Structure 1
Amino acid sequence: MHQRKPSLIEIPEDMPGSRNLRDQIYGQIKRRILSGRIAPGEHLREKALCEELEVSRTPLREALNRLGNEDLVIFRPHCGYLAAPISAEEARRLQELRRIVESKVAALAAVKASEEDIKLFRAAAEMPEIKAGDDASFVAFCQANARFHLLLAQCVDNHFLEQIVMSSLDQYQRPAYLGIGRVTDHKKPSKCHHDIVDAIEARDPTKAEVVMCGHVIGGSERIIAALIEAGY
């Protein structure tokens, strides 16, 4: 069975002892990068990380190289490992990828989703309320949004598509975790999600594709504009 790389919403906060050490290190660092605890472009100091995580340099480097393969960490000679930077241009590239892939995922879901899948989509479509000045409520919103998109990708039963969707969505949400381009009202994304489910339930792949495309473009344009305004 294919082992998919975990999305941010699937990485536990702690490092349970039953998990593989390399997976623990990978999960801890990935969560910190995606959630903004490690800032974009920040130097990942190996010695400090080894001491903090109480691990040796070999498994740490293996984890960093693994994250490098996911474009979350970059290595520069004479400098070492850095958290991948964010920029408006990268956000545009992600928009292109998500628009192409997630629109097709929605279209496929309209053909492949079972009645039970559709019930799950409907339950996940409603986003939690975002409270002004409350970071925890925004994190909950981001996680709920990711779960909705993950459910759509999982029902298609194609691990290549699923991996692309979740990896790109994690990257897409990085600026928002840093407070850049955040959604302030949960109502519009909730409506978009319900519109997508409506099209899937109607077994209308063309409409599902169109609605998902508009949903991806709308959110991406907000973040791109915020990145430009913030100087990224």
Structure 2
Amino acid sequence: MSVSANLPERVYATIKRKILNGEIAPGARLLEKSLCEELKVSRTPVREALNRLGNEDLVLFRPHCGFLAAPLTADGARKLKDLRLIVESKVAALAALRATKSQIDALRDAAEMPVVIPGDDESFVRFCQANSRFHLLLTRTIDNQPLENIVMSALDQYQRPAYLGIGRVSDRTKATKCHHDIVDALLERDPFKAEAVMSGHVIGGSERIIKALVEAGL
């Protein structure tokens, strides 16, 4: 694939990373001209990236104002919790019925979460990446690309406050146990158990983020 063909994806990935890691602050205006100059590209790939990020709810468009990085709010986190409960709990239930042995083995290998070192941003990024990998591997067992896209977008939004230091997890033990419990439910071919464990997993993490956002006045 040519460099020019890769350009829209590179621009999208760069802007998305800046939003997720807080380099572009929540609520900040995204000026197309400035982004074009910074990334040394034309307006077309920048506009394409912003529209794509808008579909992922990481960017908003406001008339007479333009594009903004989506703000972080407790209300938004509550709505995201509802979405993840509906989608990811059912994904887990379907995975219990559809996942192959090799897929379950891969999930077991991915279930262990890395250690988070307080104050070490890199260790936290590794934790988030490992968590996303487990959830995406689980979603891929049901072979449904639209659902995979929804889960990927939801995970990005869920982990965004923590990347900014809000509601960071400090103990990998609970997440690791939940992941292993989900794998056990898949091995038992028990969709009800898989759904219940995933629901508890989503609620626990979401409530931690919501509480932190409320305490931060957001």
Tell me which interval the TM-score lies in, with the shorter structure as reference length. over 0.9
Instruction: Using the TM superposition, give the Cα deviation of residue 71 of structure 1 relative to its aligned residue in structure 2, in angstroms.
Output: 1.6
Tell me which moved more, 31-40 or 121-130.
31-40
Once the two structures are superposed, what CA deviation does each residue of 1:131-165 show, in whole Å capped at 9, x if it has no partner?
A: 11100000000000000000000011011211111
* Residue 218 of structure 1, aligned match among 200, 204, 214: 204
Q: CA RMSD in A?
A: 1.3
* Residue 159 of structure 1, aligned match among 137, 141, 145: 145
Tell me which moved more, 81-90 or 20-29.
20-29
Instruction: Using the TM superposition, give the Cα deviation of residue 78 of structure 1 relative to its aligned residue in structure 2, in angstroms.
Output: 2.4
TM-score by length of 1: 0.90
Residue 47 (structure 1) aligns with:
33
SS at match of 1:20: helix
Instruction: Using the TM superposition, give the Cα deviation of residue 18 of structure 1 relative to its aligned residue in structure 2, in angstroms.
Output: 6.6
Instruction: Using the TM superposition, give the Cα deviation of residue 170 of structure 1 relative to its aligned residue in structure 2, in angstroms.
Output: 0.9
- Matched to 2:187, the amino acid is E
* Aligned positions of 1:1-232 closer than 5 A: 17=3, 19-232=5-218
TM-score by length of 2: 0.96
SS at match of 2:113: coil
- Matched to 1:144, the amino acid is A
CA–CA separation in structure 2 for the residues paired with 1:119 and 1:49: 43
CA–CA separation in structure 1 for the residues paired with 2:87 and 2:48: 30
% identical aligned pairs: 69
SS at match of 2:64: coil
CA–CA separation in structure 2 for the residues paired with 1:190 and 1:116: 20
CA–CA separation in structure 2 for the residues paired with 1:27 and 1:172: 18
Instruction: Using the TM superposition, give the Cα deviation of residue 37 of structure 1 relative to its aligned residue in structure 2, in angstroms.
Output: 2.0
Would you say how many aligned residue pairs link Structure 1 and Structure 2?
217
CA–CA separation in structure 1 for the residues paired with 2:169 and 2:194: 23
CA–CA separation in structure 1 for the residues paired with 2:132 and 2:4: 26
Tell me which moved more, 84-93 or 28-37.
28-37
- Matched to 1:42, the amino acid is A
CA–CA separation in structure 2 for the residues paired with 1:68 and 1:105: 24
CA–CA separation in structure 2 for the residues paired with 1:138 and 1:18: 33
SS at match of 1:213: helix
Residue 5 (structure 1) aligns with:
none
- Matched to 2:86, the amino acid is I
Structure 2 gap segments, 5+ residues each: none
